[in-house]
Amino acid sequence: MKFNEKLVLNSYLLSLFGVDNFEELTKDLKDSQLEELDENDNSLFYHKLKDKIINRIISDDKLQEYDENIVRHTKVIGRDIKWRYFQYLSLLFIEIYLDKYFDSKKKLLEDLNNYLQEFNINIEPKKIKITKYNDRELNKLALYNATGSGKTLLLQLNLLQFNHYSNGKMKINKTVLITPNEGLSNQHLKEFKSSNIDIF
């Protein structure tokens, strides 16, 4: 199977919004005006998703909670960031996953494997089916972002998201960021300081 045909988790998260692909989810989110906040500090992306995506499984309350987390963490960084639609959705997907993972890993595993059954049915008969998840596989996430898509800032917000959901549920004594060279390590050190994130 091609790589993009194996992205079960991505497909599962899209299904929570009642859509089959990323393009369907983003078709009404590309207007730059949606990068602003309303008078209550909710993003306009949140309003668009709440009002336009009617077949979603995620409740209005949960969607608002995730949005408020993203806005709050963005303010911690304090760099006058306006997320583009693809960046916002990346952060939103992380919110959903971390919430489900730390709320009930067992339920997340059950939901993913139930979804996988349907996913495998849609795979062509001659192609290899994807095997069930086990709970040891749930603690890893991989994000794919293009060059120039703001990966450094997304990484910083992902750390804040993880700390928020893991607080009191998992003891973490250090986070290690690995880069391919010293120059990039120094760049990340500078970026973390600019974003008010403590580093050692």
6 falls in which pLDDT band (50, 70, 90)?
A: low
**pLDDT above 60 for 10:** yes
Scan for tokens 């391919």, then name that residue.
180
- 3-class DSSP state of 100: helix
Residue 200 lies in a domain: no
**Residue 122 covered by a domain:** yes
Note whether residue 78 is domain-resident: yes
Q: Which of 118-126's residues contact partners 24+ apart within 8 Å by CB, and which partners?
A: 119/8, 119/11, 119/12, 123/1, 123/5
pLDDT reading at 29 higher than 90: yes
Quickly state the pLDDT bin for 138 (edges 50, 70, 90): very high
pLDDT number for residue 68: 98
Model confidence at 126, in pLDDT bands (50, 70, 90)?
Answer: low
DSSP 129: P
Does residue 199 form part of some domain?
Answer: no
Nearest one of 84, 70, 82 to 30, comparing CA atoms: 84
Distance of CA 73 to the CA centre of its chain: 13
CA 173 to chain centre: 23
Distance of CA 178 to the CA centre of its chain: 20
Region 128-135 average pLDDT:
86
Share of the chain above pLDDT 90, in %: 58
| Of 94 and 145, the one with more pLDDT | 94
Per-residue model confidence (pLDDT) at position 92? 97
CA distances from 58 to 16, 62, 81, 97, 162 (A): 6, 6, 26, 12, 20
Q: Is residue 59 scored above 60 in pLDDT?
A: yes
The token pair at 126 is 């001659």
Check residue 53 and give its pLDDT. Answer: 76
pTM (two decimals): 0.90
Q: What is the mean pLDDT of residues 53-78?
A: 92
- Number of structural domains found in the chain: 1
B/e letters for 173-195, b = 16+ CB within 10 Å, e = fewer, are eeeeeeeeeeeeeeebeebbeeb
Residue-range definition of the domain harbouring residue 14: 3-194
